Structure formats: C-alpha cells, structure tokens
Amino acid sequence: MAQLILIRHGQSTWNAANRFTGWVDVPLDRVGRREAIAAASKLGEYVVDVAFTSLLVRAIETTAICLTESEGLCGGKSPVFKHDADDPQWHGWDKYEGHRDEEIPIFLAQALDERYYGDLQGYNKAKMAEKVGEEQVHRWRRSFATRPPGGESLEDTARRTLPFFRDRILTHLREGDNVLVSAHGNSLRSIVMELDDLDTEQVPGLELKTGVPLVYEIDNTGKVAGKTVLN
C-alpha cells in the first residue's frame, strides 16, 4: 500500500494580507515557515520516495522545509530538485540523472500551480467583497465552473492538474512509491475532488488549510484505501 501525502503550502505573505495571489510568486511568511516545520514534525513517521511541487516559491519552500526538517521523511536520503527546463540558467542541473538509492527526486510542475486569478490578483479579498458583494467573491473563489475576470475556474485548473496527477503521480503510487505533493489550495482541491469522489456541488465546502498534511493510502490499482488528516 503506497502513501500519498498532500500538503498545501504554509501561509504566504499574501495569505496573511488577505490578497488574491494566484500565479504571483510570493514567499512564505514567518507563520508559514512555522506551519511547514510543524507539518514536517507530524510527518516524522512517514518516508517518501519521490516529491512533486509547483513552480511557485511558496510551494517549493514548503517542500524543502518538510524534507529537511523531518527526521524520517527522507529516510536518510538527500532531496534533489529536478529541473526539466532546457535553459542555460539551470547550469545543466536538468542533465543530472541522480542516484535513486541516495536521493529523493523533487519534480517541479506547472500543472500543480495555483489557480490563475486573472484580474483579481493583488486585490484584497475583503475590499473586493465591498465592491462587488460577498456572494460574487465567494462564487469566484469556491464554485467549480465560475471564472474570475481574466482567470481560471476550478474546472479549468482541474483540466491541467488531473491529467498530470494521473500520468505522473498516480503512476508512482501504483508502483508502490510513497509520494509527497506540495501545492496550492485550488490545484490540490481538484486532486482531492477526484480522490474523495466529490461532485461539483460539494466543492464550495471543500477547504484545505495551509500547512496541514493529508495522507492517503493508495492500493496498486490506484484506488483510495484510507485517509488521515494530520491536524
């Protein structure tokens, strides 16, 4: 039975400021780093074989903290970020093949990025609610198919997140690898929808807290056999 650990990044500077973030690349704040350290402590009894994260620094930071602050999560191996980009700025890092018996590969994927909030990015959520109404802001944030102006709906996000989950992440799980995924509220919501077999009417009530790991037991057919929330 393989284990899938999902964790929403710790609190970012814009979470704390109640701003729409989306693809704006803001870091964790002090609270967020503490949340990630606490998550690492909760995950001390688990061991992962591979990790995935988005391209955004708040998820990358959370991944790094979890894998370096937990005494057991890496099983004595070293975490190594794997870059797919054929870009001179990577200094050839994407060419390094690695040593699986000594390292935990961490794959960065745009498919796991947060939902794109379009024209709302940078705006304070409470002030936007005063301008257009709380109900409208709630629809933009929590409904399945409603797009914010110029942005993605959760349905749009799922169209990129779920194929990656099925093709890359679920493949590891079926092979018996334990997997850590550090991502975002909406990219993870789409994955949780599939794992928990939720319908679109249940989406508005689905809330993932920052820095709180969800652990799924996955059998060799890819089916969920159990779930634990590490509050």
pLDDT, tens digit, 9 for 90 and up, residues 145-195: 999 999 999 999 999 999 999 999 999 999 999 999 999 999 999 999 999
Per-residue pLDDT band for 86 (boundaries 50, 70, 90) equals: low
Long-range contacts of 165-174 (CB under 8 A, 24+ apart): 165/191, 165/194, 168/52, 168/107, 168/109, 169/4, 169/52, 170/218, 170/222, 172/2, 172/49, 172/50, 173/2, 173/4, 173/218, 173/222, 174/2, 174/218, 174/220, 174/221, 174/222
Over 90: is that where the pLDDT of 203 sits? no
* pLDDT for res 85: 62
Q: What is the pLDDT of residue 88?
A: 61
Q: Would the annotation count 166 as a binding residue? A: no
Q: Is 220 annotated as a binding residue?
A: no
So where are the chain's domains?
A: 2-229
Residues with a catalytic annotation lie at 9, 114
Number of neighbouring beta carbons within 10 Å of residue 98: 12
- pLDDT for 59-74, tens place per residue? 999 999 999 999 899 9
pLDDT score recorded for residue 100: 81
pLDDT at residue 89 in the model:
67
User: Does residue 90 carry a pLDDT above 70?
Assistant: no
Q: What are 95-150's pLDDT values in tens digits?
A: 777 788 899 999 999 999 999 999 999 999 999 999 999 999 999 998 999 999 99
pLDDT at 91: 72
Residues 16-44 have pLDDT tens digits of 999 999 999 999 999 999 999 999 999 99
Handedness of CA 27, 33, 39, 43 (dihedral sign): positive
46 is in an annotated binding site: no
The predicted pLDDT at position 139 comes to 92
pLDDT at 98: 79
For the chain, the distance separating the N- and C-terminal CA atoms, rounded to the nearest angstrom, is 22
For residue 217, name the pLDDT band (cuts at 50, 70, 90): very high
Three-class DSSP category at 8: strand
Gap between the Cα atoms of 74 and 44, Å rounded = 9
Residue 97 pLDDT: 77
Report yes or no: 51 and 103 within 8 Å, Cβ to Cβ.
no
Q: Is 100 marked as binding a ligand?
A: no
- Give the pairing type, strands 2-8 and 50-53: unpaired
Pull the structure tokens for residue 142: 């929590």
User: 68 a known binding residue?
Assistant: no
- Say whether pLDDT at 14 is over 80: yes
Residues 2-229, CATH architecture: 3-Layer(aba) Sandwich (3.40)
Mean pLDDT of 77-96: 75
Return the pLDDT at 94.
Answer: 66
Residue range 215-228: average pLDDT? Answer: 96
Does the annotation list 15 as a binding residue? yes
Residue 142 counted as an annotated binding residue: yes
Q: For residue 204, what pLDDT band results from cuts at 50, 70 and 90?
A: confident
Q: What is the identity of the amino acid at 30? A: R
Residue 119 CB coordination number (10 Å) = 11
For 19, the enclosing helix (H) or strand (E) is: none
Across 63-166, where does the E strand assignment appear?
78-82, 103-108
* CA dihedral angle for residue 78, residue 43, residue 190, residue 114, rounded to 10 degrees: -60
